[in-house]
Structure 1
Amino acid sequence: MTHAPEKAAANILSMNSIEVLYDNVMLAIKGVSIQVPKGGMVALLGSNGAGKSTTLKAISGLLKAERGRVSRGEISFDGSVITDLPAQQRVEMGICHVIEGRRVFEHLTPDENLEAAAPMAMNRATLKTEKQRIYEYFPRLAERKNSQAGYLSGGEQQMLAIGRALMTQPRLLMLDEPSLGLAPFLVAEIFSIIKKINKEQRLSVLLVEQNALAALEIVSDGYLIENGRVVMHDTAQALKANSDIQEFYLGGGPGTNFHDIKHYSRRKRWLS
């Protein structure tokens, strides 16, 4: 009896049997349960359209803007139920969601972008300290801090999007496809910085990725979601060693064609 509260306290985020409806008709995710330990890094893997982004929006409260809602289940953040809380209140509790697509203010400089993302109550001294900390993590941003953000490279814009999120001093950072459209060397650089931030700041991270190989290099655990359901959960090491994961997500199978849907569906033994 004494172990259950300790286990709950060890997780900063718990999703239990969550279902999401769009327009009160379309069931987007079906009974999804995931946990993110305090100070941990967890990956949510899966192909395009599997339900990964919807899962993040359920956590951050952004479903309402897309006519979606959690129709079943419970979401807890650091022991408090947040299932029905508005998005802004979740931000104030420490949940920050970096949505897909590197959304930055293109007409502002990186420095102005960081200042715009800071909470209203943050004083000038803290603002300066936080900006300096972000520039230390992302030296490329420091070099370009007075350039117009719209002229930054894709990788630099992704760094700025993450930097903006860090200005809110989050306790849980959720990243949606941060590697999308980036060269492999940039993906490696950004993921290495995310891992460093996690280690030094004890910042909990939930990472949504199609690039399973890159994600499994930096997280401790991973969930595989397909057709709106979690179909596998294990340590990163175990997932990398799994033959199905290797074949369909890590490119390890001989003669495999990811886009051959019939073959892909037939060989996914975890769905059978």
Structure 2
Amino acid sequence: MTAGTEAPPILSLINVEVIYDFVSMAVKGVSLTVPEGGMVALLGSNGAGKSTTLKAISGLLKAERGRVSRGEVIFQGRQIGDVPPQARVAMGIVQVLEGRRVFEHLTPDENLEAAAARSLSGSQIAAEKDRIYGYFPRLFERRHAQAGYLSGGEQQMLAIGRALMTQPKLLMLDEPSLGLAPFLVREIFEIIQRINREQGLSVLLVEQNALAALEIVSHGYLIENGRVVMHDTAEALRANSDIREFYLGGSEGKNFRDIKHYSRRKRWLT
């Protein structure tokens, strides 16, 4: 790629709408782009439509009686609206669901092996595990313990490790900081950033912790009530006075979980 040129998109959403039970619209015309090898954040409060947007990409809406009713989801130049979830994983799309979903009765080692792509040989699986343990040395130390006894941070690392075992091209993370101490959030986000840098893995990060997310991504989208209301570079979003007031704490220490009302007029909505 020559200097000054942008990477082509690995993922594009074009005016995507999502409805549940044929009547309830959760996402209302969302458009966004993730560049090849880039890191992008989708920010917003609880219930804004962030997780639904991810499931529209991964194909997990049907299990929740939802569907994409309009718009296009394009991955590597292909419209994938009719592609089943398992085939999307095979194409290289993987979503780490909110809540640290791991097999609690299995060890981290067994969890990683269970998530490996079927096409991998025994030696390739071993190599993939070594690579993941290199990123998450804590998991290596606990590799023979039952996953149910790992700490919250270790379980989140294992959930990300399981996703990496599928050899993804696009890694989607849904609230990886949820319920974790700030030092663990920093550690995990630094590892995600390192994986992106070293492996060229494209990342779409869904977060309520806007401050942490904007430290590691290049661009961010702000979603409210199912609509994207702002899109800019991470630097510009951090500097925006309204974003700082409503989403980065501001002078009064507000954050997504503290804000109860949105009565003050937001300039980007006018």
Please indicate the TM-score interval, normalised by the length of the shorter structure: over 0.9
**Aligned-pair distance for 1:260?**
5.0
Q: How is 1:94-133 mapped onto 2 (pairs within 5 angstroms)?
A: 94-133=92-131
**Aligned-pair distance for 1:84?**
1.5
Q: How is 1:1-272 mapped onto 2 (pairs within 5 angstroms)?
A: 10-254=8-252, 259=258, 261-262=260-261, 264-272=262-270
* Separation of aligned partners in 2, 1:152 and 1:158: 9
Identity %: 75
Q: Residues 134-163 of structure 1, C-alpha deviation per residue, up to 9 Å, x if partnerless?
A: 000000000000000000000000000000
* Separation of aligned partners in 2, 1:99 and 1:255: 28
**Aligned-pair distance for 1:220?**
0.1
Q: Residues 30-51 of structure 1, C-alpha deviation per residue, up to 9 Å, x if partnerless?
A: 0000000000000000000000
TM-score of the pair, normalised by structure 2 = 0.95
**Residue aligned with 1:96, SS:** strand
* Separation of aligned partners in 1, 2:169 and 2:48: 26
Structure 1 pair 80/252, CA: closer, same or farther in 2 (3 Å)?
Answer: same
Specify the alignment match of 1:3 in structure 2: none
Q: Residues 110-130 of structure 1, C-alpha deviation per residue, up to 9 Å, x if partnerless?
A: 000000000122101110100
Root-mean-square deviation (CA, aligned residues, Å) is 1.4
**Residue aligned with 1:55, SS:** helix
Q: Aligned letter for 1:193?
A: I
* Separation of aligned partners in 1, 2:77 and 2:144: 41
* Separation of aligned partners in 2, 1:176 and 1:190: 13
Structure 1 pair 175/257, CA: closer, same or farther in 2 (3 Å)?
Answer: closer
**Residue aligned with 1:180, SS:** coil
**Aligned-pair distance for 1:257?**
7.6
**Aligned-pair distance for 1:68?**
0.3
Q: Aligned letter for 2:112?
A: L
Structure 1 pair 112/249, CA: closer, same or farther in 2 (3 Å)?
Answer: same
Q: Which of the pair is proportionally richer in helix? A: 1
* Separation of aligned partners in 1, 2:17 and 2:225: 12
Q: Aligned letter for 1:45?
A: L
Residue correspondences, number: 265
**Aligned-pair distance for 1:253?**
3.0
TM-score of the pair, normalised by structure 1 = 0.94
Unaligned runs of 5+ in 1: 1-5
